[in-house]
C-alpha cells in the first residue's frame, strides 16, 4: 500500500492506494491532492481570492462568475437546504463570525439579518448572485466534495483499493471493506466504536470538542461550530453523528442536519439514501435513515 498525508482543508488529509504498481499509485495520489488543493483555493472562507470571498464581497451587487466546482457545491447546498426547509443553510457565516469561529471578511458588506439560502440565485453554468448582502461558508459541505473530487481525479481501476480521509470525511473505493474508527468525544476508550465501509462515504461531526461560552446580546450561550440554519441557534454541542452515504458531499452536509434535528432527521436521510449513527451521552446510540 502507498499512503501519503498533507495538511489541507483545515485538517490532515491522507490518501492511500493498494492494488496497482507503485508508479501508478504515486501518480494517482498526486492527482488526488491536486484536486483537493484546487477545492481548497476555490472555497476557502479565509483566502481573499477564493470564489467564496469574491461572492461575499461582490455578489450582492452583480453576477459573479465562479469555477464549475464551486457552482456544483452551491447547487447541491441549495438542494439540501430546500429538502430541509433551511435547517442546512450556508448563509450562517455571519453567526460563526460573531461567535469567533470565522474571521470577519475583508471589504465585504455586513450581512442582512434576514438573509437565507433563498437569496442565492444560480444561473447555469457558472454565475451566482445574492439578493441581498450575505456571507456564505462552505465549510459544512466542501470538504466532502473535495474527497469525492479527489477520488474522481485519481482515476484508478475498480480493482484498486482507495481510502481518502479528510479529517473524518472518508471515501472508500475498491473490492474490500475498510474499518473506520469513530472518534466520539468523551466516549469510553475501552469501547471505541467502528463501522465497516465499502464503496461509499462516511462523515462525522460533533460540536462538543469546540464548544465555548459566548457572551452577546442574547446573554451567555454555549456555542459551537454548527448552526441551525433556520433559527441560527447553536446546534450539536452535545451530540456526535456519523453519516454514511454514497457521496461524501452528502455525508458531510447531512451530519449537520442530523446534529440539528436528531431523530427528526430520519426522513431527510432516507431521501438521500443515507444512514446516520447518532450518539448522545444520555441516550447512547441510535440509527436513523436508510438501512445500514
Q: Strand runs (DSSP E) across the chain, as ranges?
A: 2-8, 11-18, 64-65, 120-123, 127-130, 161-166, 169-173, 178-181, 194-197, 200-206, 212-216, 219-223, 239-245, 275-280, 284-289
Cell representation of residue 56: 461575499
Q: pLDDT by residue (tens digit) across 32-43?
A: 999 999 999 999
pTM summary value = 0.93
What is the distance, to the nearest Å, from the Cα of residue 51 to the centroid of all Cα atoms in its chain? 17
> What confidence score (pLDDT) does residue 284 get?
87
Range 19-23, long-range pairs (CB < 8 A, 24+ positions): 19/159, 19/160, 19/161, 19/174, 19/175, 20/156, 20/157, 20/159, 20/160
Q: What is the mean pLDDT of each run of 10 residues along the chain (292 residues)?
A: 93 96 97 97 95 98 98 98 97 94 93 96 97 97 98 97 96 96 74 89 83 68 83 85 97 96 95 94 87 61
Q: What is the pLDDT of residues 5-57, one digit of tens each?
A: 999 998 999 999 999 999 999 999 999 999 999 999 999 999 999 999 999 99
Cα gap 274→63, rounded to integer Å: 34
- With a CB cutoff of 8 Å and minimum separation 6, the contacts of 249 are 73, 76, 141, 144, 145, 147, 148
C-alpha cell at 78: 441549495
Q: H or E segment at 88?
A: none
Q: What is the pLDDT of residue 189?
A: 60
User: How many degrees, rounded to 5, is the angle at CA 16 between CA 10 and CA 19?
Assistant: 165
pLDDT score for 211: 66
CB 88 within 8 A of CB 274: no
Amino acid at each position: 500500500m502507498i499512503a501519503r498525508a498533507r495538511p489541507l482543508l483545515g485538517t490532515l488529509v491522507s490518501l492511500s492506494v493498494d492494488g496497482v504498481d507503485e508508479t501508478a499509485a504515486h501518480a494517482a495520489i498526486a492527482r488526488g491532492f491536486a484536486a483537493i488543493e484546487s477545492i481548497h483555493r476555490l472555497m476557502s472562507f479565509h483566502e481573499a481570492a477564493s470564489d467564496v470571498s469574491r461572492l461575499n464581497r461582490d455578489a450582492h451587487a452583480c453576477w459573479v462568475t465562479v469555477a464549475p466546482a464551486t457552482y456544483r457545491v452551491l447547487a447541491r447546498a441549495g438542494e439540501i437546504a430546500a429538502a430541509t426547509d433551511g435547517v442546512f443553510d450556508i448563509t450562517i457565516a455571519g453567526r460563526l463570525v460573531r461567535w469567533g469561529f470565522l474571521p470577519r471578511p475583508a471589504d465585504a458588506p455586513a450581512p442582512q439579518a434576514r438573509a437565507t439560502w433563498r437569496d442565492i440565485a444560480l444561473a447555469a453554468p457558472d454565475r451566482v448572485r445574492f439578493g441581498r448582502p450575505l456571507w456564505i461558508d462552505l465549510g459544512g459541505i466542501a470538504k466532502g466534495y473535495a474527497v469525492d473530487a479527489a477520488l474522481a481525479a485519481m482515476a484508478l481501476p475498480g480493482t484498486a483499493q482507495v481510502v481518502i480521509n479528510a479529517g473524518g470525511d472518508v471515501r472508500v473505493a475498491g473490492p474490500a471493506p475498510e474499518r473506520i474508527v469513530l472518534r466520539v468525544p468523551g466516549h469510553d476508550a475501552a469501547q471505541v466504536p467502528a463501522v465497516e465501509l465499502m464503496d461509499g462515504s462516511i462523515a462525522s461531526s460533533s460540536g462538543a470538542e469546540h464548544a465555548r461560552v459566548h457572551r452577546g446580546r442574547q446573554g451567555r450561550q454555549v456555542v459551537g461550530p454548527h448552526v441551525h440554519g433556520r433559527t441560527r441557534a447553536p446546534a450539536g454541542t452535545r451530540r456526535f453523528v456519523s453519516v454514511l452515504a454514497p457521496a461524501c458531499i452528502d455525508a458531510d452536509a447531512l451530519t449537520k442536519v442530523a446534529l440539528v434535528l436528531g431523530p427528526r432527521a430520519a426522513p431527510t436521510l432516507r431521501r438521500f439514501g443515507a444512514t446516520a449513527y447518532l450518539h448522545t451521552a444520555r441516550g447512547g446510540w441510535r440509527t436513523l435513515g436508510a438501512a445500514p
